[in-house]
Amino acid sequence: MAYSEKVIDHYNNPRNVGTLNKDSKFVGTGLVGAPECGDVMRLQIEVGEDNVITDAKFKTFGCGSAIASSSLATEWLKGKTIDEALAIDNMDIVEELALPPVKIHCSVLAEDAIKSAINDYRVKNGLEAIALEKSHH
Amino acid sequence: MKQPIYLDNNATTPLDPRVLEAMLPYFTEKFGNAASRNHAFGWVAEEGVDYAREEVAKLIGCTEKEIIFTSGATEADNLAIKGVFEMYKEKGNHIITAVTEHKAVLDTCKHLEKNGARVTYLGVKEDGLIDLAELEAAMTPETILVSIMYGNNEIGVIQPVKEIAAIAHKHGALFMTDATQAVGKIPVDVNADGIDLMAFSAHKMYGPKGVGALYVRRKNPRVKVTAQMDGGGHERGMRSGTLNVPGIVGLGKACELCRLEMESEAIRLSALRDKLESTLSKMEESYVNGNTQHRLPHVANISFKYVEGEGLMMAMSDLAVSSGSACTSASLEPSYVLKSLGLSDDLAHSSIRYGLGRFTTEAEIDQAIEVTQKAVNHLRELSPLWEMFKEGIDLSKIEWAEH
């Protein structure tokens, strides 16, 4: 299967690879997927004043599309408010990276990772977790 | 050095230029139909087919009359299994095969199950070999056929063919083997091995695609298969259809070259394979899949834990290899062969198959080692699982959100 140029770019030059201090109350961590399924994403956000995401990092075990989806997600998250981040839809990722149908689950996983990181941050800061839509797969 | 480096010789092999040279006249001036008995064009074509039949027979130790040319190993598998099932219906309806067989065998068996066959799918031990005691226990008076592959396409393990044949024969069943990966790579002798039917193809041994053969034993016992295509009664009535003369000549030439060069080639390739494998398996958390004593000389299958196979192949775009990862197929299920060895799904997802061939050089292997090491290290830097492993977290204790 041929990859789009954008997937190859993110794959070759992944943005924001790394780890934030998961114990910090300003950091939310989302760990989604399963090794048995062939993809695991860990996405972290650091939230500053006014609910603005000041930093985002990821590490992903998975195929090129999974790595590119999470790399793109971290790029988009930086500078967004939590509410704006919650509005990111997996189909935005599909469109941006031109993912083929068989790779849509990678974008779904990235959306799940964003929401799960936000929830981790909310719970740490005494807020209720937001009910997540059941994954579309 | 040509890029990318071709290390997927279990999928297909390049055509040897000497094979091409032998084939070319049969497309043009020697274009005749081998079945035309009454003019020189037919005779010349038939000579080419006769030469090929003789070379194929020499390579596997049988007589010319025991070779049925087909379009490839898949057709030969179908003809053998369906043909035996129909021919020996009176005797029984039971077939024994193994879970690690190629789909050409497994799906043919599944098809026959819909038509009244009872099929036993033997499991394999963790080294990929079948358990002979289990085979013995599965034999019944209704068993007409045991079909077990010679060498496995994914991990290269060689089944104890001679012992399997003896068990089949003791219980009055025929023994068939899909030897696509073995013929031309290691010595295969149908008499020494006790093989009654054997499928193989040209494009796995530096011949052309679209041609293969089925060996059908003529003596002790005389084996018959029901034809699966109706037509002109070619190939002793077992496979109708005008002979693919250039392809058949190519198969013959490929067999001749393998017969002459296989022995030294196996030594060369296993040395290269061992170099690749021993270097890569020294990397932390890498595992060689399948039995390493009984296997083909040119295959290595290695899992690099905490790295996903398709992602890894993308990082190794200078190498043409294959992976047992789900992501390489539409199914999202990792390799059924690796899973049947008892490999966990995550290790199956992390596997890479290296298939060496006649044109593989030592310089290419050195580069393959370097590219693989670099890619594995790079992806582990990106892998949350690797980080957790390094922190001493037991990944099996984590509740993963299955999706």
**What would the pLDDT profile of B11-59 be if each residue is shown by its tens digit?**
999 999 999 999 999 999 999 999 999 999 999 999 999 999 999 999 9
Per-residue pLDDT at B327 exceeds 70: no
Residue range B213-239: mean pLDDT, rounded? 96
Per-residue pLDDT at A133 exceeds 70: no
Please tell me the predicted confidence (pLDDT) of residue B332. 62
Nearest to B393 by CA among B383, B403, B402, B378: B383
Residue range A90-116: mean pLDDT, rounded? 94
Residue A49 inside a domain? The answer is yes
Residues in A closer than 8 angstroms to B395, CB to CB, are: 35
Residue A137 inside a domain? The answer is no
Per-residue pLDDT at A136 exceeds 50: no
Residue A91 inside a domain? The answer is yes
CATH number reported for the structural domain that contains residue A46 in this entry: 3.90.1010.10
Per-residue pLDDT at B330 exceeds 80: no
Please tell me the predicted confidence (pLDDT) of residue B344. 87
Residue A31 inside a domain? The answer is yes
Residue range A26-51: mean pLDDT, rounded? 93
| Residue A25's pLDDT band (cuts 50, 70, 90) | very high
Here the contacts of B161-168 (C-beta below 8 Å, separation 24 or greater) are B161/B193, B161/B194, B161/B195, B162/B192, B162/B193, B162/B194, B163/B132, B164/B130, B164/B132, B164/B135, B165/B193, B165/B194, B165/B195, B165/B196, B166/B194, B167/B132, B167/B135, B167/B136, B167/B139, B168/B139, B168/B143
* Least confident window among A94-108, B66-80, B83-97, B326-340: B326-340
Which residue in the list A106, A113, A114, A118 is annotated as catalytic? A106
Domain that holds residue A60: 5-124
A63 is known as an active-site residue: no
Residue range B291-296: mean pLDDT, rounded? 96
A17 contacts B382? CB cut-off 8 A = yes
Q: What are B261-291's pLDDT values in tens digits?
A: 999 999 999 999 999 999 999 999 999 999 9
Per-residue pLDDT at B104 exceeds 60: yes
Residue A133 inside a domain? The answer is no
Residue A132 inside a domain? The answer is no
List, in order, residues 6 or more apart from A112 with CB less than 8 Å away: A30, A32, A41, A132, A135, B401, B403
Residue range B322-350: mean pLDDT, rounded? 81
Residues in A closer than 8 angstroms to B389, CB to CB, are: none
Cα of first residue to Cα of last residue in chain B, in angstroms, is 43
Per-residue pLDDT at B402 exceeds 70: no
Q: Name the maximum alpha-carbon separation found in chain B.
A: 80
Q: What are B362-382's pLDDT values in tens digits?
A: 999 999 999 999 999 999 999
- A99 touching chain B per CB within 8 A: no
Q: Could you tell me the pTM of the whole model?
A: 0.91
Backbone φ and ψ for B351, nearest 5 degrees, come out as -95, 145
Residue A130 inside a domain? The answer is no
Check residues B396 and B76 and name the one with the higher pLDDT.
B76
Give the residue from chain A lying closest to B325, CA to CA. Answer: A38
| Residue A102's pLDDT band (cuts 50, 70, 90) | confident
Residue A110 inside a domain? The answer is yes
Q: Please count the structural domains in chain A.
A: 1
Asked whether B92 and B116 are in contact (CB, 8 A), the reply is no
Residue range B157-168: mean pLDDT, rounded? 98
